């Protein structure tokens, strides 16, 4: 029984070891397959007019490392242990632990190997093709920019010419308007000066006529004033003569009573009729001597009617008289 179980155990162990070795080889081959990264291409361009932007070389893309799937667990067939032998103790082999999944290997930078002449020629041609492509693209870009610049300059020139033509038209129109305005201003100023001269002439004639008229008016006013003054003076003298005649008539009738001392003054308001008769007599201010006041009032009544026939034209002024009497006058 022990002899029949041992070959099965060894077969199982060998099978497990073969599976692990195969898995390891698969990992190594898969990890190192096509690990060479693309080499960067250095491109240098020269241009006389303007610098051309050179696109940077593409970043080498590292191959994505695909982690191989974990190997399936190997089933270990059940082992039947032989019965213990008194003379020799055979211990059963410990079961191997299941393999732990390996961590994702980090990409290793392999030392740059010396390229073969064929690889060098291929890389050189590839580099030259890239450079030619970049030069063509740079020339196309430069031509495009130059065409754009020429288009911009042409548009600017056309705009400048159009603006210059428009400005010239505006200047010509402004000059024409200025000339027309100056001509109109000259005509207007000439007409205004003519009107001013005419107005000045009319005003001068009017002033001369006004001066003449004023002189005549002043002469008339002067003559009228002189005549009025003369008439007033004559009227005043005539009125004074009329009043003096009335006062003298009254004064001749006054009988001064005894006991009147000094020269007291008595004032009376007398209203006359056109006939010279007295309408009313009123004492307005006493002399302080009642007897003298009464004597004067009697004399006024006795002298009426007054002889004022020669002064009928002054009756409006002789109608109301204010007479003053003193005994010593």
The predicted pLDDT at position 318 comes to 84
Facing residues of 268 across strands? 283, 323
> In which band, very low, low, confident or very high, does the pLDDT at 14 lie, cut at 50, 70 and 90?
confident
pLDDT digits (tens, 9 = 90+) for 95-138: 566 666 666 666 655 555 555 566 678 888 899 999 999 999 99
Mean pLDDT for 211-238 is: 89
pLDDT at 63 over 50: no
Poorest-pLDDT segment among 8-12, 39-43, 219-223, 241-245: 39-43
For 138, which DSSP code?
H
Domains and CATH numbers, the chain: 2-111 (no CATH), 237-325 (3.30.1150.10)
Q: Give yes or no for a cis peptide into 305 (omega within 30° of 0).
A: yes
CA atoms within 13 A on the CB side of 295: 21
pLDDT at 62 over 50: no
Cα 280–Cα 282–Cα 283 angle in degrees, nearest 5: 160
CB 304 within 8 A of CB 270: no
Most confident listed range (74-88, 99-113, 199-213): 199-213
pLDDT at 188 over 90: yes
Poorest-pLDDT segment among 56-60, 110-114, 159-163, 233-237: 56-60
Most confident listed range (70-84, 97-111, 175-189): 175-189
Element (H, E) at 323: strand 320-325
pLDDT at 18 over 70: yes
Which is higher by pLDDT, 17 or 156? 156
The predicted pLDDT at position 151 comes to 94
Element (H, E) at 266: strand 266-272
Cα 16–Cα 21–Cα 23 angle in degrees, nearest 5: 95
pLDDT digits (tens, 9 = 90+) for 241-278: 888 888 888 988 888 888 888 888 999 999 988 888 88
pLDDT at 215 over 80: yes
CB 99 within 8 A of CB 124: no
**pTM attached to this predicted model:** 0.35
The predicted pLDDT at position 98 comes to 60
DSSP string of 75-122? PPPP--PPPPPSS---PPPPPPPPPPPPPPPPPP-PPPPPPPHHHHHH
pLDDT at 92 over 70: no
pLDDT at 75 over 60: no
| Average pLDDT value for the chain | 78
The predicted pLDDT at position 315 comes to 84
Q: Give the residue carrying structure tokens 């056109």.
A: 274
**Which phi and psi (to 5°) does residue 321 adopt?**
-115, 145
The predicted pLDDT at position 42 comes to 55
Task: Tell me the two tokens of residue 290.
Answer: 């009642």
Task: Tell me the two tokens of residue 82.
Answer: 């032989």
pLDDT digits (tens, 9 = 90+) for 242-251: 888 888 889 8
Element (H, E) at 132: helix 117-253
């Amino acid at each position: 029984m022990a002899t029949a179980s041992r070959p099965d155990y060894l077969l199982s162990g060998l099978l497990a070891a073969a599976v692990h070795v195969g898995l390891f080889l698969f990992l190594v081959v898969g990890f190192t397959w096509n690990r060479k990264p693309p080499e960067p291409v250095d491109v240098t361009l020269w241009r006389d007019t303007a610098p051309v932007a050179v696109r940077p070389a593409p970043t080498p893309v590292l191959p994505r490392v695909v982690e191989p799937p974990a190997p399936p667990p190997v089933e270990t067939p059940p082992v039947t242990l032989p019965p213990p032998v008194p003379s020799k103790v055979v211990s059963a082999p410990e079961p191997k632990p299941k393999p732990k999944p390996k961590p994702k290997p980090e990409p290793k930078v392999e030392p740059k190997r010396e390229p073969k002449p064929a690889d060098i020629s291929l890389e050189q041609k590839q580099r030259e093709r890239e450079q030619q492509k970049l030069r063509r693209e740079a020339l196309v870009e430069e031509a495009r920019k130059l065409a754009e610049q020429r288009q911009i300059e042409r548009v600017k020139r056309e705009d400048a010419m159009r603006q210059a033509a428009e400005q010239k038209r505006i200047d010509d129109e402004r000059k024409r308007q200025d000339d027309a305005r100056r001509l109109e201003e000259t005509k207007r100023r000439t007409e205004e000066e003519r009107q001013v001269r005419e107005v000045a002439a009319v005003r001068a004639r009017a002033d001369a006529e006004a001066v003449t008229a004023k002189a005549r008016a002043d002469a008339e006013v002067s003559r009228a004033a002189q005549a009025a003054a003369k008439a007033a003076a004559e009227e005043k003298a005539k009125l004074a003569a009329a009043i003096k005649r009335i006062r003298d008539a009254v004064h001749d009738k006054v009988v001064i009573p005894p006991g009147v001392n000094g020269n007291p003054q008595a004032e009376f308001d007398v209203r006359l009729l056109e006939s010279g008769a007295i309408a009313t007599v009123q004492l307005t201010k006493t002399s302080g001597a009642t007897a003298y006041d009464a004597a004067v009032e009697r004399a006024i009544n006795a002298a009426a009617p007054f002889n004022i026939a020669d002064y009928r034209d002054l009756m409006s002024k002789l109608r109301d008289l204010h007479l003053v009497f003193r005994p010593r006058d």
